[in-house]
């Protein structure tokens, strides 16, 4: 069946054959131009240049492909480990399978919180309400029934059908799958839905860096080409020299370094029980300076216990427990931990009670109602947030006595549940209302003129691990903000226990009155946001991002999905509801802030290694570019042959291939960083000319002391250039003392091997193919002195640079 219908995806993803993936690496303008240039060389009889250029390009492309393919394969296996699953009935047996394996004809079992995995018709439904706003734009849940109906093309009228991508808000359903993948209603708009137009701060910085390098390269290459042609140097050599210079100046290794670094970061994070769904999220984790998190299960244990059941005046009441139990037992929506705590607190006999109807919970009303019948009488039982429910009550009950609620009573009742919240207890209000025996359905309008029965109080103790994790995040420059639907008093108590300073409290009712500009000012000064519905949570995230922050959001509920999608990096947990997991970029396999702390540190390590390559590549490339331009003005010959430039380029790439494995200094991990293009420009403009200054010293040494001819000059500069630009890796890779920061053994090994090869190559037969000649030993001694001096100067300038910038 799957071979017939394909994978159940919006856009079916098929990996191209290996050979096509390999050829895709040639889809690079510079590679294509160089290959054409090698063909021109062959046509003009320059066979040695043809073979050398072709071999170097093939070696570079093969290296990039091998590294990226291996890392991408490993990362994909990790992502598949947390793929969404669904419960289906096959051959009469209920089983869990990957959503991608669902085919037409499957019977899918759905409950509150599930994503609908395919289009289909309902076989059975019980109080099934579905949010299908992604398809229809209608934000309110729609009730679905297993009743045949002809709806034509109107999705909102299709009350007997469920559609891929919608989510079950309450109730349960059994679905017979009709369409999967691109044949679904979602598939018709998949490109619009799956498109992600947002650009992360790191991606934006890399784009700016590439644009800057491209402009410099084009300008300098045209300058060098013009100077060579005006000097009447051979046009073919000048053309190949300019092309090779373009390759040498372009950070063509950057995509591979970014890809491999991110993939290796994904693998390392998996060891820390963190699965990365979107690789770029690793960079965003490293740059994150604000973490918004829900309270329940993150700062608390999520092991909720009922502590008391009180009447409206604060006395113990068994009647409150019975009513709360009946409401939780017959509720078919997404049960939260407080429902479970009610049901496990004490067994209540529900014999004689039957359910008539239900008004499911939603985040605007913040309550749930069930209509029950017992011995010919019907009773509406409502459970919800105390402030909201008290407003709907006109009476309260003490024992068998029903009393009217006066303003004084209302104030006293409010003091009862608020005192519980101040002590850290989460409180639900319980109310009821007798209705006529012929009352057919429960509707929102029935939730009025209620009789308040009392309150249930729950204890959700703070996590022991949360306090040190919060301290670590704050010390690491991550501002923690609590964004919750819970009471501000309960949240304040948790903050007090966890020693999290309360800088300001904003309620959902206040957010509702603020426009976006006013909200941006408010979110900057507050760190506690309470009584928020899903849209208000999303507005807080959007406002923080508009203030220039890189924002992470940690949540696991249905109400967290909009905020997860709006954050720079959405973080959820493996036990979260499907809609939250689908919206998240990062999945924590363990619901613990310490796991997130380690993920943030790994993100910063990944970002740090990418920055190392950018700083090393930009300063080195700019220095070479400046030297090439200067040498082309006064030399009667090319300062370096095209093949020598290409060889220099690939050897330098080989020396840096282990950067993704390198460690990052603790100082780099202590604060979040974004890719600062201005810092990169300053570093390039300062360190690059220093490299050029030592190149010009080398030119003088070769021309005036050793009276070098063309071949000796090109060989001598090649060796000096390789030594300086490779060994400076050990200086630039750390902001501190390089003697106190140990590089990864493989990075040290590849760098030293490349330098050794560059020094000995001119003395071999292979070196003659590149136009090299043996160097005088006393020149090599001079190179050693130059390189040591260069490294000391760069270390001194680098130290001053970071002091000022």
The catalytic position among 294, 339, 460, 585 is 294
Are 122 and 161 contacting, i.e. CB atoms less than 8 angstroms apart?
Answer: yes
Are 407 and 399 contacting, i.e. CB atoms less than 8 angstroms apart?
Answer: no
First to last CA, the chain: 62
H or E stretch including 586? Answer: strand 586-588
Measured between alpha carbons, how far is 523 from 481 in angstroms, rounded to an integer? 9
List of residues 6+ apart from 798 with CB closer than 8 A: 687, 731, 732, 735
Are 451 and 395 contacting, i.e. CB atoms less than 8 angstroms apart?
Answer: yes
List of residues 6+ apart from 29 with CB closer than 8 A: none
H or E stretch including 161? Answer: strand 161-162
For 124-158, b/e burial (b = at least 16 CB within 10 A) is ebebbbbbbbebbeeeebbebebeeeeeeeebeeb
Per DSSP, the three-state class of 740 is: helix
Measured between alpha carbons, how far is 528 from 492 in angstroms, rounded to an integer? 8
Are 566 and 541 contacting, i.e. CB atoms less than 8 angstroms apart?
Answer: yes
List of residues 6+ apart from 280 with CB closer than 8 A: 200, 202, 203, 262
Longest dimension (CA), the chain: 114
What radius of gyration, in Å, describes the C-alpha atoms of the chain?
Answer: 34
Measured between alpha carbons, how far is 604 from 665 in angstroms, rounded to an integer? 10
| β partners of residue 479 | 290
Let me know how many helices (H) and strands (E) the chain has, helices first.
30, 23
| Angle in degrees, 0-180, between the axes of helices 534-546 and 516-525, rounded to the nearest 10 | 80
- Phi, psi angles (nearest 5°) of residue 504: 175, 150
Measured between alpha carbons, how far is 452 from 429 in angstroms, rounded to an integer? 8
Please state, as a whole number, how many other Cβ atoms lie within 10 Å of the Cβ of residue 744: 16
H or E stretch including 768? Answer: helix 765-769
Per DSSP, the three-state class of 426 is: strand
Measured between alpha carbons, how far is 194 from 98 in angstroms, rounded to an integer? 20
294 is catalytic: yes
| β partners of residue 429 | 384, 455
Measured between alpha carbons, how far is 40 from 47 in angstroms, rounded to an integer? 10
Measured between alpha carbons, how far is 484 from 481 in angstroms, rounded to an integer? 10
Tokens for 13, please give them. Answer: 């993803």
Are 34 and 53 contacting, i.e. CB atoms less than 8 angstroms apart?
Answer: yes
Residues acting as catalytic residues: 294
């Amino acid at each position: 069946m799957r071979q017939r219908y394909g994978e159940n995806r919006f856009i079916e993803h098929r990996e191209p054959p290996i050979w096509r993936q390999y050829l895709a690496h040639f889809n690079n303008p510079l590679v294509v131009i160089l290959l054409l240039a090698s063909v021109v060389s062959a046509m003009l009889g320059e066979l040695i240049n043809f073979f050398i250029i072709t071999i170097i390009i093939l070696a570079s492309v093969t290296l990039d492909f091998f590294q990226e393919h291996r890392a991408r394969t490993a990362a994909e296996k990790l992502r598949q480990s947390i793929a969404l699953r669904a419960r289906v009935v096959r051959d009469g047996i209920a089983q869990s399978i990957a959503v991608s394996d669902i085919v037409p004809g499957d019977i899918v079992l759905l409950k509150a919180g599930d994503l609908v995995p395919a289009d289909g018709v309902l076989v059975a439904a019980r109080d099934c309400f579905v949010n299908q706003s992604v398809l229809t734009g209608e934000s309110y849940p729609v009730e679905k029934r297993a009743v045949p109906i002809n709806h034509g093309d109107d999705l909102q009228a299709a009350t007997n059908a469920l559609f891929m991508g919608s989510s079950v808000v309450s109730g349960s359903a059994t679905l017979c799958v009709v369409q999967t993948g691109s044949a679904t209603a979602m598939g018709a708009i998949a490109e619009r839905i799956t498109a992600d137009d947002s650009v992360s701060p790191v991606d934006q910085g890399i784009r700016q860096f590439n644009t800057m390098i491209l402009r410099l390269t084009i300008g300098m290459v045209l300058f060098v080409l013009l100077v060579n042609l005006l000097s009447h140097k051979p046009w073919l050599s000048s053309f190949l020299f300019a092309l090779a210079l373009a390759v040498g100046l372009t950070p063509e290794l950057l995509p591979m370094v970014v890809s491999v670094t991110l993939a290796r970061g994904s693998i390392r994070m998996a060891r820390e029980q963190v699965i990365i769904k979107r690789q770029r999220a690793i960079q965003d984790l490293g740059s994150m300076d604000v973490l918004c998190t829900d309270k329940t299960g993150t700062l608390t244990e999520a092991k909720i216990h009922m502590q008391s059941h009180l009447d409206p005046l604060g006395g113990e009441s068994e009647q409150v427990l019975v009513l709360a139990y009946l409401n939780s037992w017959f509720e078919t929506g997404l049960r939260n931990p407080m429902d479970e705590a009610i049901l496990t607190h004490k067994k209540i006999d529900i014999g004689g009670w039957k359910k008539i109807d239900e008004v499911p919970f939603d985040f605007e009303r913040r309550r749930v109602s069930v209509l029950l019948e017992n011995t010919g009488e019907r009773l509406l039982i409502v459970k919800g947030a105390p402030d909201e429910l008290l407003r709907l009550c006109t009476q309260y009950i003490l024992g068998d006595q029903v009393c009217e609620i006066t303003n004084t009573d209302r104030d006293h009742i409010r003091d009862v549940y608020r005192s519980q919240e101040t002590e850290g207890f989460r409180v639900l209000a319980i109310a009821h209302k007798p209705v006529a025996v012929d009352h057919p359905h429960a509707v929102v309008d029935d939730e009025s003129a209620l009789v308040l029965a009392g309150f249930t109080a729950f204890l959700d103790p703070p996590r022991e691990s949360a306090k040190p994790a919060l301290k670590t995040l704050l010390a690491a420059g991550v501002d923690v903000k609590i964004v919750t639907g819970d009471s501000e008093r309960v949240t304040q108590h948790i903050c007090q226990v966890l020693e999290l300073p309360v800088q300001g409290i904003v309620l959902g009712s206040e957010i509702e009155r603020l426009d976006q500009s006013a909200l941006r000012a408010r979110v900057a000064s507050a760190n506690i946001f309470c009584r928020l519905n899903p849209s208000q949570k999303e507005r807080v995230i959007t406002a923080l991002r508009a203030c220039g922050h890189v924002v992470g959001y940690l949540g696991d509920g249905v109400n967290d999905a909009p905020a997860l999608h709006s954050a720079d990096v959405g973080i959820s947990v493996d036990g979260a509801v499907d809609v939250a997991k689908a919206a998240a970029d990062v999945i924590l396999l363990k619901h613990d802030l310490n796991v997130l702390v380690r993920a943030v540190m790994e993100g910063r390590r990944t970002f740090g290694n990418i920055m190392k390559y950018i700083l090393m590549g930009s300063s080195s490339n700019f220095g070479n570019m400046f030297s090439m331009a200067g040498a082309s003005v006064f030399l009667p010959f090319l300062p370096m042959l095209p093949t020598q430039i290409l060889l220099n380029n690939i050897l330098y790439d080989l020396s840096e291939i282990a950067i993704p494995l390198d460690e990052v200094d603790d100082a780099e991990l202590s604060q979040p960083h974004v890719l600062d293009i201005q810092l990169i420009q300053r570093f390039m403009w300062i360190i690059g000319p220093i490299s050029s200054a030592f190149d010009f010293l080398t030119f003088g040494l070769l021309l005036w002391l050793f009276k070098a001819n063309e071949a000796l000059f090109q060989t001598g500069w090649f060796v000096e250039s390789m030594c300086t630009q490779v060994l400076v890796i050990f200086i630039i890779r750390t902001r501190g003392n390089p003697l106190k920061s140990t590089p990864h053994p493989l990075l040290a090994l590849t760098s030293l091997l490349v330098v050794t090869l560059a020094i000995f190559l001119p003395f071999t037969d292979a070196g003659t193919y590149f136009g090299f000649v043996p160097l005088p030993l006393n020149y090599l001694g001079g190179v050693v002195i130059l390189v040591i001096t260069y490294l000391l100067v760069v270390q001194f300038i680098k130290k001053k640079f970071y002091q000022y910038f």
